Chain A
Amino acid sequence: MQNSLPELVKCDVFSLFNQMRSVSVDLNNDSSLLIDIPDALCERDKVKFTVHTKTTLNSFQKPEFSVPRQHEDFIWLHDTLVETEEYAGLIIPPAPPKPDFEGPREKMHKLGEGESTMTKEEYAKMKQELEAEYLAVFKKTVQVHEIFLQRLSSHPVFSKDRNFQIFLEYDQDLSVRRKNAKEFFGGFFKNMVKSADEVLISGIKDVDEFFEQEKTFLLDYFSKIKDATAKAEKMTRSHKNVADDYIHISATYSYLLICLHSLCVINAYRHLEKFSELLEKLRKVEGRVASDQELKLTELLRYYMRDIQAAKDLLYRRARALADYENSNKALDKARLKSKDIPQAEENQRQCLQKFDKLSESGKQELTSFKGRRVVAFRKNLIEMAELEIKHAKVRIKSAVCSEHNLFTHN
């Protein structure tokens, strides 16, 4: 048994995804531009997404088409959007994180090492569980890439972006474009982002009440949601550990029963066997609870943490625009003093003010709709999580009561 994960996992995720498309809401409703990722391939570490577009817009060459894309292509698209001046007043949807199969891969490796200490059945179950985990990571990464595109397609401004269109339509490899972009933008943006928080925090108190409140709120909320995400991740991992333990226990226990078979009175064997069945059911439930919690809670928090970061970036850009405006004011004053280059300075000041006003106006809109979006998404996920927890608890009770009933009737 090789330690490598399945070489090619072709995944028809369409039907499986319906319950997962809930981290963000109100997407893909506009039939003029519908995007989804119906298919994905995993080769070694590289994931190839099939981006499928259906559109009634004339700007596209065909009404329906698909292209293969890699994660790096998504990042390229995101970065170009960030760098576009026009979009400074908009919340740029957060870039999808890199597909990370490290967790399942490490576990698979450990499993391979421990193969000799396990029974065949135990090993098979662990392997099965690991494949499910791998599949879950896979599904999550497809979902998060899909949502990124759908955020763009459902936005009045982004959906018209030229690079977005290229991303959807261009049937050649994007890697050449990517390289050029990197050389152009390079570390420019990264350096900007580093001091973003400092600018925000140390900035002058905003005259505009709305933005001042937003700044305070977003800064605080971001640190809280970051902490909550980390704690939720730890909690989910513990759940997974418990579920894995149940696999070992269930397998060892049923093997134990085989050993005991001849030692046991037949009646006794029967209800011990029932317990073995229960353990098997319990372990499945535990696994499901762990993965549901991951999706509904941890993934929700993770996504909105990134989204809040994107909102913060907007505030930062506005703060920069404000700083530019103030600098232009100072430059104008200086020019007036020296009586030199006054028209340019006036023009510069006017432009800065215009930019700032435009940013503020669209920023306000974006932040307001963002709040609405966030609240709706939280509501949906929290309800779904509570309902799933109740469902799983009922399953556990039903299994236990069945077992107990059997134990008593076999008394």
Chain B
Amino acid sequence: SRKQLVPPSVDLPRFLFRLCFQLSPTSPEPASLPAEDISTNSNGPKQEILLDDDQEDLFAEATEEVSLDSPEREPILSDGPSPAITPVTPTVIITPRVDASMFDRSPDEDEEAEENGDTFDLQIMVSDPEKTSLNLFNRNEFTVKRRFSDFLGLHSKLASKYLHIGYIVPPAPEKSIVGMTKVKVGKEDLSSAEFVEKRRSALERYLMRTVNHPALLKDPDVIQFLESTELPRAVSTQALSGAGILRMVNKAAEAVNKMTIKMNESDAWFEEKQQQFENLDVQLRKLHASVESLVCHRKELSVNTASFAKSAAMLGNSEDHTALSRALSQLAEVEEKIDQLHQEQAYADFYLFSELLGDYVRLITAVKGVFDHRMKTWSKWQDAQVMLQRKREAEAKLQYANKPDKLQQAKEEIKEWEAKVQQGERDFEQISKNIRREVGRFEKQRVKDFKVVIIKYLESLVHTQQQLIKYWEAFLPEAKAIA
């Protein structure tokens, strides 16, 4: 029985309604709803698990039908968390299961096969709806099915809308061909179950971060993702993985650097922050690598402890002194139990630390991308200014050339570029403002995230150590009894 680690709800002041969702894997029999499955697979806020009485009806009256081709995708800009709409705190519990229909795919779907992954059930609960002044959702409790590619699709939409204006869009989990293949092949082994759990947990955190963002929560794509019963299948060109987006961002960053933009940074804050994020990036990656190494070694320790336990049992059997033989067998039992503790600890190391660090490494990359976008925006503004200057010079020349048509055109072009310069300046100021706010929010959130994880880690450490003491204290009299 593995402990399910649920990202905690963060209590923020002044929030008016709570959005909780549970993410669970789709059950093979689609008719039955995964209410029972949640109880076996999670230890989240069980009290808020929805009942399935109305589920059939809900599915029947699917209300939202948003086409993917809607042309205008305006980002929702907010100047800051307004008192009326404060960030919600979703609790996501995702339970994955392999969708049996996956194997019935037709050949032309195969190229997308790797993107599809498991289907997940997304259960959403909106609590305290009376307090809300903004009715974001039509219903208070509902379930939807989502595929892995749907999550990627959501992220790509949000990234295309918000990254370039300075919002730190949380990156989506990575695709993994190897892991997914194992699951599809139907390998019932521990590693494929682990893979699914890892993915489930990653999706949970991703959604939580996304919904925690005040602007993103209001985004129609997000609402559609959470609410609509049928999401149109994300087209492969759109369903870029988190890595794909980041690759794009990085390429943009490189391009910016290659253009050798010597940005006159008038704002020391940005210069300082950029440097700090660079350092943070390096150190976080290092730390992540060390924690991954710890997880790996602890797993090894667990395996070796189990192996020793067996060997000690054999030795105990072979021992002809009765009391010593019994003690050795007891030792073997203790070591076997300790092996379990090692596994638990490795699990905690991984899900609490390693994954969190991995998330933050990806988040930092997104942050750096946003800074690079600002540079691009500045550069565009500068280019517009240069262009305007040229147009003015051209117009000046035309003043003496006595070509009235061309002069008129030149004057119009000047107007055009003046507007562009103004827009460029506005864009730059806006993105700078957004980034400042986003970074502030990011830092607060990061402190919270780490604090929560640390506390959980300490609790798990105390728990395993108490167990350890129990086992050894039970063994001690056996050892003393050897005469």
Contact = CB atoms under 8 A, between A and B. Distances in A.
Given A221-B319, A224-B314, A390 B473 contact: yes
Contacts of A386: 472-473, 475-476, 479
Nearest to A246: B294
Nearest to B278: A259
B455 A228 contact: no
A321 B304 CA distance: 43
Contacts of A378: 324, 327-328, 482
B2 interface: no
Contact of B290 (A227, A239, A252, A401): A252
A228 B480 contact: no
B480 A383 contact: yes
A407 B276 contact: no
A371 to B, nearest CB: 7
Interface string A242-277: 100110110011011001101111001001100100
Interface in B287-325: 287, 290-291, 293-294, 297-298, 300-301, 304-305, 307-308, 310-312, 314-315, 317-321, 323-324
B256 interface: no
B279 A259 contact: yes
Contacts of A237: 304
A239 B301 contact: yes
Given A238-B300, A390-B472, A407-B455, A255 B283 contact: yes
Interface stretch (A49-57, A107-115, A391-399): A391-399
A223 B323 CA distance: 21
Contact of B455 (A217, A238, A404): A404
Contacts of B476: 383, 386-387, 390
Interface stretch (B44-52, B134-142, B379-387, B456-464): B456-464
Contact of B308 (A225, A231, A241, A260): A231
Contact of A403 (B290, B301, B304, B458): B458
A379 B455 contact: no
A238 B297 CA distance: 6
Interface string A325-338: 00000000000000
B304 A242 contact: no
A375 interface: yes
A232 interface: yes
A400 interface: yes
Q: Which of A213, A253, A397: most chain B CB closer than 10 A?
A: A397
Nearest to B319: A221
B319 A393 contact: no
A253 B286 CA distance: 9
Contact of B318 (A224, A278, A393, A407): A224
Nearest to A285: B465
B60 interface: no
Interface string A218-230: 0011001101101
- Range class of the A interface residue count: 35 or more
Contact of A383 (B286, B462, B479): B479
A303 B300 CA distance: 25
B121 to A, nearest CB: 35
A21 interface: no
A362 to B, nearest CB: 21
Given A268-B451, A386-B479, A242 B301 contact: yes
Interface string A373-385: 0010011001100
Interface in B466-481: 466, 468-469, 472-473, 475-476, 479-480
Contacts of B419: none
A302 to B, nearest CB: 13
B447 interface: yes
A400 B475 contact: no
Contacts of A265: 443-444, 447
A262 B276 contact: yes
A120 interface: no
Contacts of B290: 245, 248-249, 252
Given A231-B311, A235-B301, A375 B455 contact: no
A239 B342 CA distance: 11
A234 B287 contact: no
A260 B272 CA distance: 12
A246 B294 CA distance: 7
A256 B461 contact: no
Given A268-B447, A397-B465, A407-B454, A389 B294 contact: no
A269 to B, nearest CB: 9
A242 B311 contact: no
B294 A242 contact: yes
A367 to B, nearest CB: 11
B293 A245 contact: yes
Nearest to A220: B318
A228 B311 contact: yes
Nearest to B339: A235
Contacts of B450: 272
B332 to A, nearest CB: 10
Contact of B443 (A225, A249, A263, A389): A263
Contacts of A246: 294
Nearest to B332: A228
B337 to A, nearest CB: 12
B479 A379 contact: yes
Q: Which of B290, B317, B451, B455: most chain A CB closer than 10 A?
A: B290
B308 A235 contact: yes
B293 A224 contact: no
A400 B444 CA distance: 24
A393 B451 CA distance: 23
A404 B459 CA distance: 8
B284 interface: yes
A155 B216 CA distance: 83
A227 B280 contact: no
Contacts of A217: 318, 320
A400 B116 CA distance: 42
A268 B446 CA distance: 10
Contacts of A387: 476
Given A224-B314, A232-B308, A389 B472 contact: yes
Nearest to B312: A228
Interface string A317-348: 00000000000000000000000000000000
A171 to B, nearest CB: 44
8 closest A-B pairs by CB: A238-B301, A245-B294, A379-B482, A231-B308, A382-B479, A268-B447, A248-B290, A241-B297
Given A224-B311, A404-B459, 9 more contacts: A224-B317, A225-B315, A238-B297, A238-B301, A256-B283, A256-B287, A379-B480, A379-B482, A389-B468
9 contacts: A224-B315, A227-B311, A231-B308, A241-B297, A252-B286, A265-B447, A387-B476, A389-B468, A400-B462
Interface of A: 213, 217, 220-221, 224-225, 227-228, 230-232, 234-235, 237-239, 241-242, 245-246, 248-249, 252-253, 255-256, 259-260, 262-265, 268, 271-272, 275, 278, 371, 375, 378-379, 382-383, 386-387, 389-390, 393-394, 396-397, 400-401, 403-404, 407-408
